[in-house]
Amino acid sequence: MKNKTILITGGTSGIGLATAQLLQGEGARVLVTGRNPETLAAAQATLGPSAIVIASDSGSIGGARELGAAVRKHADKLDGAFLNAGVARFGPIEDMTAEIFDQMFGVNVRGVYFQLQSILGLLTRPSSVVFNASVVAQLGLPTASIYSATKAAVVSLGKTLSVELAPRGVRVNTLSPGPIATPIYAKLGLPADAQKGFEEQMASQSLFKRFGTPHEVAKLARFLLSDDSSYVIGVDVTIDGGVRLT
């Protein structure tokens, strides 16, 4: 990854932060985005002064469209982008509201789409774009209806845009993690006992009987962002410890 400049949305926590650390350790220059001032500051402290930390709300259409301009203040090209920022709210259909629906689609789908549109002019030829979807798009997980629909949309965008952007030298791929130990589980909006039960169920469904680590996903993201995957295009790579099989 030496001398590569890589943008990671949602790079202030969990999978995004682990990917930023891995790529930085391999010589890449990383730009990470997030929204929460505390996690933005913590990420700057973790990644150090060479990392560019950008406050950018993926859920606002203005924020998504302005991402390219925000990046341009610090970098004149991008060799790759990991469009990873995402939110998850779980609950039965009776408890879901139009606001929750719009928020999840706003960040997970509209944000990804218009962020990519806004950085297109910065992407080098060749370059690599990776979307973070989820294995839930392949499952039928109760209480995850809206979230799963957003991730199915992300997989679809990855497939279509891989064909559309190939002539520009931009490779698009998607990765689909299963249960990965990150702060996202505390943000699901489930009561504490339901959250614990869900986490235990997910761990037991894995063939390894455990959650994956953000670092394990980061290594897959690194592969897809690097020249090592130069002939890989338009795929959705599942990294779920076998959860989809049980």
- The footprint of ligand NAP (CB under 6 A) covers 10, 12-16, 33-36, 39, 56-59, 84-88, 107, 132, 134, 177, 179-180, 182-184, 187
Q: How far is the CB of 231 from ligand NAP (least distance, A)?
A: 25
- Rounded to a whole number of angstroms, the minimum distance from the CB of residue 77 to ligand NAP is 22
Question: E strands of the chain, at which residues?
Answer: 5-9, 29-34, 52-55, 78-83, 123-132, 170-177, 236-239
Q: How far is the CB of 167 from ligand NAP (least distance, A)?
A: 28
Catalytic residue among 113, 147, 185, 231: 147
Q: Which lies closer to ligand NAP via its Cβ, residue 5 or residue 211?
A: 211
**Quick one: CA dihedral 154, 243, 23, 224, positive or negative?**
negative
Least distance to ligand NAP, CB of residue 109, Å? 11
Closest CA to 116 of 160, 85, 83: 83
In terms of CB distance, is 41 or 166 closer to ligand NAP? 41
CA angle 85/102/44 to nearest 5° reads: 25
CB–CB of 23/225 below 8 Å?
yes
Size of the chain in residues: 246
Q: How far apart are CA 51 and CA 76, in angstroms?
A: 15
Whether 147 is catalytic is yes
Q: How far apart are CA 141 and CA 192, in angstroms?
A: 19
> What number of other Cβ atoms are within 10 A of residue 169's Cβ?
12
Active site residues: 147
